[in-house]
Every structure is written in C-alpha cells, then in structure tokens.
Amino acid sequence: MAANIQAPKGTRDILPKDSGAWQLVEDIMRDEASVHGFEEIRTPVFERTELFERSVGDTTDVVQKEMYTFLDKGNRSISLRPEGTAGVVRAVLEHALMNDGAPQKLYYLIPCYRYENTQEGRQREFHQFGCEAFGAAAPVADAALIALAHSIFERLGIRNLSLEINSIGCPKCRGEYHAALKAFLEASKGELCGTCLTRLEKNPMRILDCKTPSCGEITQNAPVMKDYLCSECAEHFTAVQEYLDAAEIAYTVNPRIVRGLDYYTRTVFEFISNDLGAQSTVCGGGRYDGLVKQMGGAQTPALGFAMGMERLLLVMQAQNITLPRPPVCELYIAPLGRQAQVKAFAFTNLLHQAGIKAECDLCDRSLKAQMKYADKIGAVFTMVLGDEELKQNCAELKHMQTGEKTSISLGEGFLTEFVAVATQTEDNAAMGLDGLTVDFEGFEIFEKED
C-alpha cells in the first residue's frame, strides 16, 4: 500500500475484532458515571487556540510543543483539543449550566490530539474518558471523584493499581513555595533544559514534571509543596484522606505529583499501573478551583479526572483480562433459490425488529460457502431454507457448537419458537434473549389463514 494512503503516524484503526472490547469498557464507564450522577456532554473536536493557552497554560509541554494548531479559512487560530477539560469549562460558561444548580456533574468519551513521540500507550490521536464536577468545594467531592474512578477499575477487574495523591495548594500558599523552589533551582540553572529555563521565571513548579533525566535529577531534593500548605489547604487535604479511609480506598501520599497542566489546585491524584513500564499513569486528575474564573466566569470550585482508553486496554491485556464478546450473529439463515431468499430476508428483518442479531445470504453463494461464512462469523444457530422447507412450512435449527438440531415452524410461531430454543441453551443466556417478549402486531410476512 502506498505510504500516502496509510493511517498517519500516531493514529490507529480500531478494527471490528477489537471494537467490541472498547464498547464493553465504554459501557461500564457510562454506567458507573450514571450511577454516580454524571451526565454526558459532547464538545467540538477543535476550539480556538486561545482557549487552551488560557486554560492548559502556556508553560506546559502541551501548549509549547504538542498542540495541533492551524489557521482556518477565516484566518483564525484553531487547535485540535489536546484534553477534555477546557472545552467542557467553555461549554459550562457558554450555556450557563450553573444556572441549573450545583454541582454540575458531566462526563465525556472523546478523541484527543497531541503531537508527540509515539510509543506503546502514547499516540498522537488518543481517547479519553473524563468526568468533571462544577460547584463542589468540599473535600468530600474530591474523594467522591476518586471513588468513581476506583469503581470503574473494580468493575473492569483491573488489579495492581496504586492510587497516589498530593496537594499542590492554592495561589495564596503557592507563592511562598514558588519562591523557595526557584531559589533551590537557581543553583543548578545551567543544567536545566531549555524548556525548564523558561519555566523558571513563569512557573517553577512545572519543572518538577519535566521528563528530561537531567532535570529529574536536579529536582530530586527540591522543596515539596506539602511543607508550604496554608492551613485551609492542609485541612482540605487531611479531610480528603479521611473520606478515602472511610471508603477503604487505599492510597499513598506522593509529594512529587504536580500533574501536567497549569490549572490544577489543591488535590491532585494519579492511578498508577505496575504493568505498563514508563507510561504507567492510567488515570489522573484533581481540583482546578480557579479555572472557571480564569476563563471569564464567576469563581467556581471544580474538579475532574481523565483516563486514557488505550492505556487502560493495555493494562487489561497485560493482566489477561478478557471481556466477553457478544455473538455477531445469533441466527444465520441460508436460503437456496429465489423464493427461499425472499422468505429468508423477511425472517431476518423480523428478527432484527425483535432485537435479535440475524443474517441471511447477500452474495448469492452456494450452501457450502454460506455455511463456511456462518462459521467464520461465529453464528450461534444456522437454518437452511430451501424448497422442501418452504413446502413443509418448517425447518431445522442447528446449534453450531453442539450440532444439536431442532425443528422450528416457519409460520407465526417462528419467532417465539426460536427464542424458546435459544434461551434453553445455557451458553446462549448472554445473547440477551432471555425473557424476550414478542409482539407480532405489524408483522405482515406470514400468510393469513382463511
């Protein structure tokens, strides 16, 4: 294949053999978010560049090095979203969602874009599940958000995760810490990377998050924020830990966590996997109490997290966690001849209306080729429909795994008989047919008796 029609570097196709696992994980995420009172929000994939510069921070790697930014035909600077929070905050303000009461609890499942070196678990197009809560200042909100992320990992059966938390204070107490940190780093100023040299004046805390080995060595013995917390921030962080203890959610305090975006305040946290190597963070988040005001709104406490879908699935793969894949086809009807093809199509349409996955031949294949295809797609049952079956008004259902055959009517009892046979087979209980109620009103495929 020519290189110019292959997927761009840092992007991946999610093929049908894998998309089922994505859907199951997403369903669990949506379900847990709903249980915790969060509702879905969908925002544009691109925004004005200024939005990310104001929210994410112009001293971050994301803004300085990684954003996909371009001029549109109106000569406006536009960027593909590198993360989800900024767009959600913009939407909350633009549509005055806080008028509907607090807290506003929102979740999203989105693709994001960052131009960076690609490796396993780090792509230029990646997918995030995120939750954001607006209007909740109490420390119990921090613990509740962490508990939501924790419950998703529990539902997925993911093991060997470590929750690490920290407080990076508020603007009131962070000024003193910045001064102390800057004084410490001045002694090694000549050894800092070029990016961190620019951060030294604007936001020295960002240097703690630098991935350059030399900068990491310099900051090993740097002052930590927890020693500079004001009384309010210290009390808030202590309360968060009390709530986590009450919920029996294990954690460790890691004073080195600062997160990679400038908008964070007070509580920050990460869920770390021991199965991913360097790209070990599968979920990260925290408070950003000043961001809404920074973007033009009223002072509004807020907090959120995001977890990367690709990394999450890598962890599950490393831990041999298999998700049940629902059958692609519950019944394949193999017609022989034109009249049978018409009847097979009508039956297939009837099954679809009842929510049952069914297929019939669309390629005018031989019976042998049809059976081969049915086996390839994993059809649970097959049914051959020819002249003799039409004449007798009945056919045989064959269970493809056991080989067991059952006679079934081709009259008005077809649908209920198929459901009865399917639900009697124990290994088909997951097909979603158990308890199915069939309503024949409006189904006109059967000949009416005089």
Residue 440 confidence class, pLDDT cut points 50, 70, 90: very low
Q: Is the backbone peptide bond immediately before 103 cis, with ω within 30 degrees of 0? A: yes
pLDDT at 65 over 80: no
CA dihedral 213, 261, 243, 249 (to 10 degrees): -50
- Contact residues for 176 (Cβ-Cβ < 8 A; gap 6+): 228
Please provide residue 251's backbone torsions phi and psi, each rounded to the nearest 5 degrees: -155, 165
Residue 10 confidence class, pLDDT cut points 50, 70, 90: very high
- What digits encode the pLDDT tens for the residues 228-242? 999 999 999 999 999
Q: What is the rounded average pLDDT for all residues in the chain?
A: 89
Output the DSSP codes for 355-409: T--EEE-SS---HHHHHHHHHHTT-SEEEEE-HHHHHHTEEEEEETTT--EEEEE
In whole angstroms, give the CA distance from residue 280 to residue 277: 6
Pick the closest to residue 84 from 238, 308, 242 (CA basis).
308
pLDDT at 274: 83
Q: What is the mean pLDDT of the segment spanning 151-162? A: 95
Residue 170 confidence class, pLDDT cut points 50, 70, 90: very high
Q: Positive or negative CA dihedral for 286, 290, 296, 300?
A: positive
Do the beta carbons of residue 285 and residue 304 sit within 8 Å?
yes
- Contact residues for 126 (Cβ-Cβ < 8 A; gap 6+): 111, 112, 113, 114, 308, 309, 310
Nearest 5 degrees, angle CA 50-CA 88-CA 172?
75
Which residues on adjacent β-strands are paired with residue 113?
Answer: 125
pLDDT at 450: 38
Judged by average pLDDT, the poorest of 111-120, 306-315, 423-432 is: 423-432
CATH class of 331-431: alpha beta
Q: What is the mean pLDDT of the segment spanning 54-69? A: 74
pLDDT at 194 over 90: no
Reduce the DSSP state of residue 69 to 3 states and report it.
Answer: strand
Same fold, 9-170+232-318 and 331-431: no
Return the domain boundaries, the chain. Answer: 9-170+232-318, 171-229, 331-431
pLDDT at 435: 38
Residue 64 confidence class, pLDDT cut points 50, 70, 90: low
pTM confidence score:
0.85
Pick the closest to residue 272 from 239, 245, 312, 238 (CA basis).
312
Q: What is the mean pLDDT of the segment spanning 405-415? A: 93
pLDDT at 116: 84
In whole angstroms, give the CA distance from residue 310 to residue 128: 8
Judged by average pLDDT, the poorest of 45-59, 104-118, 345-359 is: 45-59
CATH number belonging to the domain at 9-170+232-318, selected among 3.30.1300.10, 3.20.20.70, 3.30.930.10, 3.30.70.1400 = 3.30.930.10
Pairing of strands 331-335, 381-385: parallel
Q: What is the mean pLDDT of the segment spanning 324-343? A: 92
Do the beta carbons of residue 315 and residue 276 sit within 8 Å?
yes
Q: What is the mean pLDDT of the segment spanning 293-314? A: 95
In whole angstroms, give the CA distance from residue 117 to residue 95: 37
Residue 339 confidence class, pLDDT cut points 50, 70, 90: very high
User: Counting beta carbons within 10 angstroms of the beta carbon of residue 262, is it exposed (0 to 12), middle (13 to 18) or buried (19 or more)?
Assistant: buried
Instruction: Provide the angle, in degrees to the nearest 10, between the axes of the packed helices 309-318 and 16-35.
Output: 110
Task: Tell me the two tokens of residue 231.
Answer: 């009384």
pLDDT above 90: percentage of residues in the chain:
68
In whole angstroms, give the CA distance from residue 281 to residue 279: 6
In whole angstroms, give the CA distance from residue 299 to residue 212: 36
In whole angstroms, give the CA distance from residue 213 to residue 440: 69
Do the beta carbons of residue 49 and residue 39 sit within 8 Å?
no
Pick the closest to residue 438 from 376, 369, 373, 350 (CA basis).
350
In whole angstroms, give the CA distance from residue 105 to residue 136: 10
Alpha-carbon Rg for the chain, nearest whole angstrom, is: 28
Q: What is the mean pLDDT of the segment spanning 315-340? A: 90
Do the beta carbons of residue 82 and residue 66 sit within 8 Å?
yes
Q: In what order do the strands lie in the sheet with 104-113?
A: 39-40, 104-113, 125-134, 302-308, 281-287, 265-273, 161-167, 252-253
In whole angstroms, give the CA distance from residue 135 to residue 115: 33
Judged by average pLDDT, the poorest of 112-116, 276-280, 437-441 is: 437-441
Judged by average pLDDT, the poorest of 88-102, 132-146, 247-261, 344-358 is: 247-261
In whole angstroms, give the CA distance from residue 380 to residue 375: 9
